[in-house]
Structures are given as structure tokens and as C-alpha cells.
Amino acid sequence: MSLLVWVGIDDTDTYDKGCTTYVMYNMLKEFIKTRSEERVVGYPRLIRLNPNIPFKTRG
């Protein structure tokens, strides 16, 4: 039996630590490096809930 877990990250943008996409990239990289039994299924998805918002930080 396997357990699937979805992880969502929102609004972590900072000037010194980077945008949300970069935070997720580092988290995923660390997870893959430190976990031996668990695995990542599929590609990460970048979803913008409102891409037309004028004060977004990137993209």
C-alpha cells in the first residue's frame, strides 16, 4: 500500500531567500537527496491562481 502526499507552497517570496518557485526547488532537491524509501512521483507543477494580478513578484 502506498501513500501519496501533495505539497503546496504559497507566497514565500523574499529578496534574500528567493521566490516561491526557488523555495520549492530547494525543498524538492533536499527531499530527493535525503530520502531513500520515498520517491517523487511526477513533475512539480507551478500554478498561478491569478496570473493577471499587478503586484506579483515574478512571471
Q: What is the pLDDT of residue 8?
A: 83
What are 15-55's pLDDT values in tens digits? Answer: 887 788 888 888 888 888 887 677 788 888 877 777 777 76
Name the percent of the chain in helix, strand, coil, to the closest 5: 25, 5, 70
Please enumerate in sequence order all residues whose Cβ is within 8 A of that of 59, keeping only pairs 6 or more positions apart, or say none. Answer: 48, 51
Q: Is the pTM of this model over 0.75?
A: no
What is the band of 58 on the pLDDT scale with cuts at 50, 70, 90?
A: low
